Amino acid sequence: MDQKTGGDGKRDPEPLEPATVLVTAGRDPFAQHGFVNTPIYRGSTVLYRNTQDFLKRAARYTYGTKGTPTTESLEIAWTELTGAAGTVLVPSGLAAISIALMSCLRAGDHLLVPDSVYRPTRNFCESILKRFGVETTYYDPLLGADIARLFKPNTRAVFTEAPGSLTFEMQDIPAIAAAAHARDAIVLMDNTWATPLFFSAHAHGVDLAIDAGTKYLSGSSDLLLGLVSANERCWRELRATFDATAFCAGPEDVFLALRGLRSMRVRLLHQQESGLAVARWLAERPEVARVLHPALESDPGHAIWKRDFTGASSLFSVMLKPMPDAAAHAFINTLTLFGIGASWGGFESLAIPFDCAPFRTATAWKPSGPTIRFHIGLEDVGDLIADLERGFAVMATATAR
């Protein structure tokens, strides 16, 4: 079935605003006996009424790996939200990155990847893709249109991520897409930070848009899910790769993602406001050398963010002034409202230390001091700031030792 249509195959006469799409897309209550939400369908075998139908696979659903009403509901909703030709659902964000790359690369191809990319993406390129004969070159994420000089005759695809993982460099996606398309290359983007609500990847030239539903689509840190949406150019190959690998998301996770989808905009808007409030407060602290957040006017990538994005995530980083790593760790360990965890996008705030220097290869990562990534959840901003105040007090004591 065309993923751009609803469960009854009808299209709305006029395009709806994203807030309305989040509530209505992918739902067909009267196909579910009037229940508002599409229930969890667990199943592998699909029965046919006769041998003729079986031989022709004449059924809306043919086998569990090909789709169920639960997965179809989220696929339709995400396709409508992203303005894509179609969407596939896989078990994690990294799985989404993997299947997107596998769908457009062959042995002998060359791939361009930003040096600021999510580290598991780099690991996949350096292990699986390398093993299968794909060459990867890492590039300065700030190149923009100048990326054209890195193209080789066999360059097949350009991977992007804006802002960059951990370090939050803003990439000029339209300029990169124009350079890539002029050479018939495919553009992929990890759009997890902004989601389709804050950045319309396909409208800015991206062919394959990747989102980790584990983050904001869940909102509760209780599921693993990846989504890849494709434009008309790449949809057929993406779906064929998905069908060939049967890389399916679990029905319970898809159901939880559908539930989270309906409230995602409300949560993102609230967390954007809270995240900016905390980021601006941190920018004034004497211990902080710089806040890495593209929505701040002081950020080098702010102009690109303001031009292309309609909102900001609740994830950002800070560079501290020179001090022992132990002092930064003492600061994090003191916090009571910030968990120490690798993911983000949920209702709870998080803080983790990081250091990109060991694995960046195209650009040097030389922060002024220790670096910390923050995710701001749904807690009261005043309580979060009070918690950070206590952490800075402990940092001062640890720095003085």
pTM here is: 0.92
pLDDT in tens, 261-281: 999 999 999 999 999 999 999
Helices 232-245 and 93-104 cross at an angle (nearest 10°) of: 110
User: Beta strand pairing status for 226-230 and 135-139?
Assistant: unpaired
Segment (H or E) for 329? helix 325-334
Where are the domains positioned within the chain? 264-400
Regarding predicted confidence, which is higher, 8 or 73? 73
**pLDDT category, 30, cuts 50, 70, 90?**
confident
Average pLDDT, the chain: 94
The structure tokens listed for 157 are: 């695809």
pLDDT score of 13: 62
Mean pLDDT along residues 206-229: 96
pLDDT of residue 15: 84
Q: Using 50, 70 and 90 to split pLDDT, how confident is the model at 5? A: very low
In this prediction, residue 8 has a pLDDT band, given cuts at 50, 70 and 90, of very low
Which carries the bigger pLDDT value, residue 362 or residue 35? 362
Q: Supply the CATH classification number for the domain 264-400.
A: 3.90.1150.10
Q: How far is CA 42 from the centre of its chain?
A: 26
Helix then strand then coil, in percent of the chain rounded to 5, is 40, 15, 45
Would you state the pLDDT for residue 190?
Answer: 98
Place 121 in a pLDDT band, splitting at 50, 70 and 90. very high
Please tell me the predicted confidence (pLDDT) of residue 399.
86
3-state SS class at 229: strand
The pLDDT tens digits of the residues spanning 15-24 come to: 888 888 888 8
DSSP symbol at 128: I
Q: What is the pLDDT of residue 18?
A: 87
Lowest-confidence region among 20-24, 47-51, 147-151: 20-24
- pLDDT tens, position by position, 80-113: 999 999 999 999 999 999 999 999 999 999 999 9
Length of the chain: 401
- Confidence label for 1 from pLDDT (cuts 50, 70 and 90): very low
Helix axes 251-283, 69-82, angle to 10 degrees: 40
Per-residue pLDDT tens digits for 151-204: 999 999 999 999 999 999 999 999 999 999 999 999 999 999 999 999 999 999
E strands, 92-207, in order: 110-114, 135-139, 155-161, 186-190
- pLDDT over 90 percentage in the chain: 86
Is the pLDDT score of 69 beyond 60? Answer: yes
What per-residue confidence (pLDDT) applies to 12? 53
Q: Which residue has the higher pLDDT, 135 or 28?
A: 135
